Amino acid sequence: MIPPPLHLSDNTATMPVPESPSSGDFHVAIGSSNFPGDSSLLSPPQNPSHATRIEEKREEKEVLQSSSKPMKAKTTKAERRALQEAQRAAKAASKADGCKALAESGRAAPGKNAKQTSQKKDGPPATSPVATDKKAGDHPLGKDRKKEAPPPRMQFDDKKRVEKAKRRSVVNPTESRNRVELFQHLPQYEHRTQLPNLESKFFHIDSVHPAVFKVVFQSKRELFALFDRRYSRGNARCIAMLRAFQDAIRDYCTPDDKILFRDLTSKFSSYVSFFTECRPLSMSMGNAIRFVKSRIVNLPLSLSESEAKTALSSDIDRFINEKIILADKVIVRHAFTKVKDGDVLLTYGLSCVVEMILFYAHDLGKQFRVVVVDSRPKLEGQALLRRLVAKGLNCTYTHINAVSYIMHEVTRVFLGASAVLSNGTVYSRVGTSCVAMVAHAFRVPVLICCEAYKFHERVQLDSLCSNELGDPDAVARVPGRMDVNYLDNWTSEDNLRLLNLMYDATPSDYVSAIVTDYGMYPV
């Protein structure tokens, strides 16, 4: 049987209410008539400090509320404009006072530092080189400094920037008359006029080392096949540039009023500018330049000049050996595992890594056939075909317009790359994306062989925003056919434009795996 509920009116049970800071200084009990003789429940608490603390908290709360800042009064647009004008006038007056003080100090010590008077108008006040070097000694550059954002690429459709670059330029090439409007943002010059212009300035430019000139001449005349046949043009250009940097470091002498890492960095910046003016840098060359500059900046200040130069030269040698030579050998070992007996392997153009893979598999006794796909105007695949045939490999040669007719026989595609971007896009010689898309349509695996130093953080979705334009006359000429001369005078035609793109971008959707010196990664 369920007992009846208890009510507060019944004098059978008491329920004490718990103490609350806001309930006062006394305890209250419900149904206290049960204890008529117990007056302690109605008396104040025995601890007087408790009430004192509560009062202090209340007083502090009232003081904080009274001392809080009042809300700002809403100002009109005219008042805000007047306030801005007053702030600008005060800023201009302070700048004028600073310039007067700087001029007076320059008159007092004219020979102390002549560079202080030529500082920028809105720049910070100049400091003496001694103080700067002391700061550099206390805090080495590159250790605690934030990563600087890369400079924006030059857009040649911006007339102001182009005129400014021409004033600083060492080489002044002739602009092309028949410019392609879609690629106005890329440099378009007369290719036949650049080399004589460079040769005439060889003895008149003191800021450029002769070894740098030599690399530029090789680049213009495309002599990298004679430079070293073990490397493709991309790797050969990078190696030649690094060797030129080594020669410049050996011949470098620090001026008396300069610091080695500061002066050498500025000289290398002028070398890089000269390279860029003559021909756009590849992404692998940009990564190599970033490596060399970081080594220069992080040189210990305790090293002597000879020790610093020796350390930089050894760092460049180690970069070439580890990032290019040994990297290619590691890529060959990884890619060899994908070659089986009876395979039909297709490659496009000329890639030194792919060539090494084919030679390595043939030397180990693998039985396979090679399909070499080529395209105009360079026809680089012909050089690869001669070397493969000389080694005794079974080869088939075709042009890129017939790649869809032979793709059904192919079991695997090996391609080289000039760079691999952060979104997986493969940046390689023009025509690579066409071969990869045809292979993807026929469900043939596409393997990209690329060294890790060619990886770049850039994101690119097409081949239009960034590319290199080759000589348009190369498209007009047909090798071995002197009778085909229909485009000999194409420059005199106002409505005719010839375009010779050097690279294209292959989306990652058409790539099965990327083979690097760190391993093989599926895409």
Residue 296 in contact with residue 264, Cβ under 8 Å?
A: yes
* Integer Cα distance of 336 and 237 in angstroms: 26
Q: What's the pLDDT tens digit per position in 472-516?
A: 888 888 877 777 777 888 878 888 888 889 999 999 999 999 999
Answer yes or no: is pLDDT of 224 > 70.
no
The mean pLDDT value of the chain amounts to 76
In one-letter notation, the amino acid at residue 6 is L
Rounded to the nearest 10 degrees, how much is the dihedral formed by the CA atoms of 163, 169, 172, 174? -40
What is the per-residue pLDDT for 478?
A: 80
Q: Cβ atoms within 10 A of the Cβ of 383, count?
A: 17
What letter would DSSP give residue 263? H
Q: Which residue has the higher pLDDT, 51 or 54?
A: 54
What is the per-residue pLDDT for 508?
A: 93
Per-residue pLDDT averaged across 89-108, rounded? 68
What is the per-residue pLDDT for 343?
A: 95
Q: Which residues pair with 426 in a beta bridge?
A: 420, 506
What is the per-residue pLDDT for 400?
A: 95
- Structure confidence at residue 33 as a pLDDT band (50, 70, 90): very low
Q: Left if phi > 0, otherwise alpha if psi is -120 to 50, otherwise beta: which for 471?
A: beta
Closest of 291, 327, 333 to residue 312, by C-alpha? 291
What is the per-residue pLDDT for 57?
A: 67
What is the per-residue pLDDT for 60?
A: 64
Q: Which residue has the higher pLDDT, 201 or 56?
A: 56
What is the per-residue pLDDT for 19?
A: 47
Tell whether omega for the bond before 377 is within 30 degrees of 0, i.e. cis. Answer: yes
Q: Which residue has the higher pLDDT, 99 or 374?
A: 374
User: By three-state DSSP, how is residue 412 classified?
Assistant: strand
Show the tokens assigned to 274: 């000269």
String of b and e for 399-427 (b: at least 16 CB within 10 Å)?
Answer: ebeebeeebeebbbbbbbbbbbbeebbbb
- Structure confidence at residue 214 as a pLDDT band (50, 70, 90): confident
What is the per-residue pLDDT for 221?
A: 55
What letter would DSSP give residue 14? -
Q: Which residue has the higher pLDDT, 257 or 231?
A: 257
